[in-house]
């Protein structure tokens, strides 16, 4: 049931909103990292993975998730000013690092020019013991499908 | 060039993201008011109004906007828990209050049930003198077109 | 061990930061409601109530909270422009509504002038059954001590 | 009139608030970068620099700033879970990179343990031409005073 064309889950769009712009008239920087996380969530959803199977929800206490995916590192580079109303193309480049961690590089383009790039790195841990463990199978499948399309590359 | 069916600019969608959910497992309340503003921006954009014609941008100092639309009041009511991954239908009900102010009531539904409702009220002021003035013509047209579709109603 | 002077837990301060200001040069509205919640948290803390006894924490699954305090309503009025670097005085006016709900009115002043006012209303629910219940005792004590100082007043 | 002890402007504190915690019960990552920026602002303020002399403000159009300080890079590493109510000690390590750029490394500690570290890099540009220029004198003085106290070190 998953899409077969990577563009369906690795190529997204976003319009920059007024509240994300500061008094210098450009994107206030940290929103970009929020966008990276939201793009990742949208990518998983488009690929066919349900939010409740990946993201913890206090309300589902009877059936909580075995694996948590905390972020251990993030970074961003800003190349060109991003302004209110800009239509951005978002390209995700997910990459498995090892059996228990992965990262997503997220490139933001406007009119064919790269305006910013973000990177978020996740570690899989057992949500009870807090020890490192393998990635959930759903994430593995999404990484595999994404890698095939992007070509494998070294970290 | 504006759309002629109100659903094209008054009926939007949004998926709830992980970073908007707090440790109680539900939407952290103030994000709803951010959603209201972003829905308003998306509505204007779909109707055919450019962000740069309404929202100030420090970078355009040579051609700054004559009218600002500060928010003087906002409120929200929360009816049902909103959770991560929820697909929400967003219905905007814009309403002119007088020649120099308007408000937008924004209703959030999930599976046909209203989960929350927000309201944001704007005042038009001259951006130089800070005195009250008439609404910009673009906003007036958007309000007019929206009212026709919704039917006129008292504040 | 609680403080005995209300000013110690009902009168706070905050400096407006750059990322809270939009391209119109003033506070982007929804941050005010975030400030209201954070002021409430700081007030409880100063009164002597620990965050872990009121706010749910997924990590403490073995000892989760019996009562949740979801927000059912919030509102804000904006009187004067709030700018970057402004030093604001924050005055909380908590008020019990009935045995199972309360609200906090939060007034923001700059140089003796009221610039904005927010209101957040909470309902107590049993975190398992999601049914209405009585307020937690800690909140009751904080409301009682606060009311004595402010004088009782009608909703 | 500036403080003479670096701890007065390079050593700050912050309490983690409920809205910054996600449904996994820990800090939602991107808030840390917001904290870095806010800590930088507080550091400048404590050192004796006014926000209006560094941060643009649309309202002051007649007297706008000659130099803007856009962020070109940021990153963060997360070492230990950060939870609601945590009291964090924040240590800033500012560093001049060259005459037109600087960065601030910001270390977050809880009970003597480092829980996270952030880094934000700024470039000075002429706000009219958008060309690179020298850092504003105020920032230079703050960097100089901070370096003396921290000891000079290579990038």
pLDDT, tens only, A52-103: 899 887 655 545 688 999 999 999 999 999 999 999 999 999 999 999 999 9
Collect all residues with Cβ–Cβ distance below 8 Å to A90 and sequence separation of at least 6.
A11, A12, A13, A14, A35, A39, A106, A107, A108, A109
D-facing residues of A in 9-68 (CB < 8 A) are 23-26, 29-31, 33-34, 37, 55-58, 68
In C, which residues are within 8 Å of A64 by CB distance?
A: 61
Residue B59, pLDDT > 90, answer: no
In C, which residues are within 8 Å of B68 by CB distance?
A: 24
Q: How many residues does chain C have?
A: 155
Whole-angstrom Cα distance, residue A27 to residue D70? 10
Whole-angstrom Cα distance, residue C100 to residue C102? 7
Question: Mean pLDDT score of chain B, rounded to an integer?
Answer: 91
Pairing status of strand C87-98 against strand C101-110: antiparallel
Pairing status of strand C67-68 against strand D67-68: unpaired
Which two structure tokens, joined as six digits, stand for B80? 């049902």
Whole-angstrom Cα distance, residue A74 to residue A71? 7
Of the partner residues A23, A61, A84, the one whose CB lies closest to the CB of residue C84? A23
pLDDT confidence of D154, banded at 50, 70, 90?
very low
List chains touching C (3+ CB pairs under 8 A): A, B, D
Task: Provide mean pLDDT across the span B121-125.
Answer: 97
ipTM: 0.91
In A, which residues are within 8 Å of D37 by CB distance?
A: 29-30
Predicted pLDDT at D3: 76
A19 vs chain C: nearest CA distance in angstroms?
6
**What is the DSSP annotation of A75-106?**
EEEE-S---TT-EEEEEEEEEEEETTEEEEEE
pLDDT confidence of A1, banded at 50, 70, 90?
low
A144 vs chain C: nearest CA distance in angstroms?
30
Task: Provide mean pLDDT across the span C101-106.
Answer: 98
Contact C79/A at CB under 8 A: no
Residue D41, pLDDT > 80, answer: yes
Chosen from C19, C63, C84 to mutate, greatest number of chain D CBs within 10 A: C84
List, for residues C20-60, the tens digit of each pLDDT value: 999 989 999 999 999 999 999 999 999 999 988 998 876 55
* CB within 8 Å: A59 and B41: no
B-facing residues of C in 82-141 (CB < 8 A) are 120
Respond yes or no: is residue C134 known to be catalytic: no
Contact B80/C at CB under 8 A: no
Q: Is D146 helix (H, G, I), strand (E, B) or coil?
A: helix
């Amino acid at each position: 049931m998953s899409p077969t064309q990577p563009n369906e889950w690795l190529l997204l769009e976003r319009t920059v909103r007024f509240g994300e712009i500061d008094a210098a008239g450009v994107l206030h920087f940290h929103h970009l990292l929020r966008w990276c996380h939201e793009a990742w969530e949208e990518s998983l959803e488009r690929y066919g993975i349900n939010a409740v199977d990946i993201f913890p929800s206090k309300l589902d206490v009877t059936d909580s998730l075995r694996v948590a995916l905390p972020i251990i590192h993030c970074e961003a580079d800003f190349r060109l000013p991003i302004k209110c109303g800009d239509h951005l193309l978002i390209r995700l480049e997910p990459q498995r690092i090892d059996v228990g961690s992965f990262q997503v590089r997220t490139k933001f383009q406007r009119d064919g020019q790269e305006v910013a790039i973000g990177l978020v790195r996740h570690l899989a841990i057992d949500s009870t013991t807090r020890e490192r463990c393998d990635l959930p199978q759903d994430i593995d499948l999404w990484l595999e499908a994404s890698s095939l399309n992007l070509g494998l590359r070294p970290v």
